[in-house]
Amino acid sequence: MRYCIKGGEIVDPAGGFSGSGDLLIEDGKVTAVERELEVEDCQVYDASGKLVFPGLIDLHVHLREPGREDEETIAGGAKAAIKGGFTGIACMANTDPVADNAVVIEYIKKQAQAAGYAKVYPIGAITKGLQGRELAEMGAMAAAGAVGFSDDGKTVTNAAVFREALEYATQFGLPLFLHEEDPDLAGDGVMHEGYWSTVLGLPGIPSVAEEIMIARDILLAEYTGARVHFCHVSAAGSVRLIREAKFRGLLISAEVTPHHFSLSDAMVQSYDPVFRVSPPLRGERDLAALKEGLRDGAIDVIATDHAPHTLEEKHREFSLAPTGMIGLETALSVAWTELVLEKILTKQQLVEKMSVNPAAVLGISGGSLKTGAAADVIVFDPNLEWTVTPEQLVSKSKNSPFIGRKLMGGVDGVWVNGDLKLAHGNFVE
């Protein structure tokens, strides 16, 4: 099928075209981008009053399959990604069994291909069983299609093991995706250590628990020359350390989640376990630093850390509830509402954070609408106002902190490799 997306404002910082124009899709590729196209024998998609972006790419998603299909499946998560405008997602290794070998990596790829929604890029474990003691089969996983390595959910606290992982990863040209938190400093904490943890009587996790591990791993990355990506950065001191390391030319990148730049630890005063997340929601000073890091480039990527949990698991006493929130379907709207409308980022910068830079971190094609690029395209309606409800969410789990919140902007159309997956907000089956 040939498609002509007409009349939208094309936002393509990597491809070089900006402004009102038409885009032609055929044979799975972008074949023309011009101010006005006259074409025949194609399906016209009216994008008047809307924005046309390269498909978004999420570096940090938990799909739960294999092992916890009651929370999420590969197919369900990939479908939720489409609803949120993500044409590609990278999934973490903390499944059951753990994705620490080529067999699980191959299984994830086959399941994603069979589902036929967003592209899924598996991230393999750094250590066997996520135990932090012995390196996983990194070479075999790389050969099977892993795009990087992570023990996300856990920190590799043994510096010698982590150094070895960095040295091995460089042999395959792949980055390590790092969850940074010193477990001894974090202790039994369940929220950010600060004013609200004191008032609420809940044990806190100090921001230095994150910052001290980031400082260590910056030094080890510098020593080994390896590429590292810092996941879900949450603290002001972390942003400062990353900014300084980038100034020295290190091969590092970093992400922040929509919930970390838009929600603070004050939300926990409701004791609603939906707000329990790792790392925890921080204070207003940290939120301001995260936004400034996005603005000045210290933070490269906006990623969701989509972490599904069942209703029964999540609706427990705050301290007993598992950490994590879903985010695939709300991320773009939250970012548009909190960052673009508040003039923290331009729409071009937003596309860089959610499409161009994630593609670069993964080393995959994507993030551009230039002629010849894979036709991973989304149409975004910036004027759509909507309120998040559980019924609207495609994800199998509904643990979103944004339920009941009014957001601006919504995904109208999505193409993956030139195949129309979402049209005017509805799935094309």
Q: Exactly one of 265, 300, 305, 381 is catalytic; name it.
A: 305
Contacts of 297 (CB under 8 A, 6+ apart): 246
Secondary structure of residue 142 in the 3-state scheme: helix
Euclidean distance between CA atoms 32 and 42, whole angstroms: 13
Angle between helices 159-172 and 208-224 (to 10 degrees): 50
Euclidean distance between CA atoms 81 and 62, whole angstroms: 12
Q: Which residues of 148-251 form beta strands (DSSP E)?
A: 176-178, 191-192, 204-205, 228-230
Euclidean distance between CA atoms 108 and 72, whole angstroms: 13
Nearest CA to 102 out of 138, 74, 67 is that of 138
Helices (H), 266-315: 284-296, 311-314
Euclidean distance between CA atoms 333 and 185, whole angstroms: 34
Euclidean distance between CA atoms 88 and 56, whole angstroms: 7
User: Could you confirm whether 305 is annotated as catalytic?
Assistant: yes
Yes or no: say if 386 and 84 are a contact pair by the CB < 8 Å rule: no
Catalytic residues: 305
